[in-house]
Amino acid sequence: MEEALLRGLLGFLEALRAEGVRPGQGQIQAWLQGLLLVPWEGEAFYLASRALLLGRKEDYPAFDRAFRRYFGLLRPKALPHQVAQGSLPVLGPGEAEGEGVLRGAYSPLERLLRRPLEALAPGEALLLSRFLLALAFPPPRRPVRRRRRGGAGERLSLPATLRRALRTGGEVLDPRFLKPRRQPYRYYVLLDVSGSMAPYARALFLLLQALKGRGFPLEAFAFGTRLTRISPLLPLPPGEALPGLGRLAEDFAGGTRLGESLRAFLEAEGRRLGRRSLLFVLSDGLDQGDPEEVARALRALRRRVRRIYWLNPLAGLPGYAPLARGMQAALPYLDALLPAGTGEELLAFLRRLRGLP
């Protein structure tokens, strides 16, 4: 099993122990094996974990609490039925993968990670996001110039030390220090929900939900022909949020106006951006607007944010070259163009988030 996956899974055991449930070694081993056996559909991941890690009914509530806390946002019960019974069929194990000889060579987990996001059934997309969330981490915090009191930092705080010394008759018995203050970045995400991106948008949206659920300060916008703030949809259960997103996408069926959307974002949020802001554009770059407009908007945005990343679902395909007009225009202003077409690529992206400068 991939190391990061393993780490993410083992993290759940911590959450479980924090709730007072302590599975034995044999149970943990069986769990790791069992997860590779169950097809990741419906509630199977939840049910399998519960069957393998617990030995008494009394632990069910504690397990549910840990599961919710660790895998985030989702009530396990709300998972399969509402979402998986959408319009797309849920694939059976090893079905419709077109992997031919490779079929069965991967665990369901690996297959899920390698399958193109567009081919994921709703239930699977949800499981993937849940799983990525399991690997996710609280937003990294970066030092800022201001400092805060407390602990044994590297700089003495004279005011605090003196105040403390007054209690002991002016004798400095307890020097106080300053510690560097740490804060997370602010994350701005522009999600392309136009026709060509529709198959990916759902999975990417679930990833955003996962990050938000993990405490990322994240503002999200959907765009096609127009720009709409979708941050209020993020905390909703996927069963409620996804139809909302779908309606938006229908409004945008006209196509993509990248440049105008970027411009609208700049106008709406420009003043709030700053050196602690990271901008992520999730789009295939297929644009019906003016490429020059894209370049102009990005040039302006570049001066206002710390980094601009472009996640393109197509970028990981063999032989991909950024030929789409919108993509071409954007390239000079990006810090990186990242693939985002499979679970694996999203995983790599999450790793990168963790290691951001």
Residues binding other proteins (CB under 8 A): 23-24, 26-27, 30, 33-34, 37-39, 42-44, 47-48, 50-52, 54-57, 60, 92-93
Q: How far is the CB of 30 from other proteins (least distance, A)?
A: 5
Cα–Cα distance list, 45 to 155, 220, 235, 266, 331 (Å): 49, 28, 22, 41, 40
**Whose Cβ is closer to other proteins: residue 50's or residue 164's?**
50
**Whose Cβ is closer to other proteins: residue 52's or residue 273's?**
52
Q: How far is the CB of 53 from other proteins (least distance, A)?
A: 9
Q: How far is the CB of 84 from other proteins (least distance, A)?
A: 11
3-state SS assignment for residue 47: helix
Q: How far is the CB of 312 from other proteins (least distance, A)?
A: 35
Phi then psi for 123, rounded to 5 degrees? -60, -40
Q: How far is the CB of 138 from other proteins (least distance, A)?
A: 31
Q: How far is the CB of 8 from other proteins (least distance, A)?
A: 20
Residues in the chain: 357
Cα 65 to its chain centre, rounded Å, is: 21
Tokens of 119: 């081919």
- Matching residue, tokens 């499979």: 342
Cα–Cα distance list, 136 to 50, 131, 174, 281 (Å): 21, 9, 39, 20
Q: How far is the CB of 24 from other proteins (least distance, A)?
A: 4
Q: How far is the CB of 89 from other proteins (least distance, A)?
A: 14
**Whose Cβ is closer to other proteins: residue 95's or residue 292's?**
95
Cα–Cα distance for residue pair 149/10, rounded to 1 Å? 34
**Whose Cβ is closer to other proteins: residue 90's or residue 262's?**
90
**Whose Cβ is closer to other proteins: residue 46's or residue 252's?**
46
3-state SS assignment for residue 140: coil
**Whose Cβ is closer to other proteins: residue 3's or residue 58's?**
58
**Whose Cβ is closer to other proteins: residue 93's or residue 199's?**
93
**Whose Cβ is closer to other proteins: residue 50's or residue 302's?**
50
207: exposed, middle or buried (C-beta count within 10 Å: 0-12, 13-18, 19+)?
buried
- What is the arrangement of strands in the sheet containing 336-339, beginning at the earlier edge strand? 227-229, 218-223, 186-192, 277-282, 307-312, 336-339
Q: Is 139 left (phi over 0), alpha (psi -120 to 50) or beta?
A: beta
Nearest residue to 229 via CA among 269, 263, 281: 269
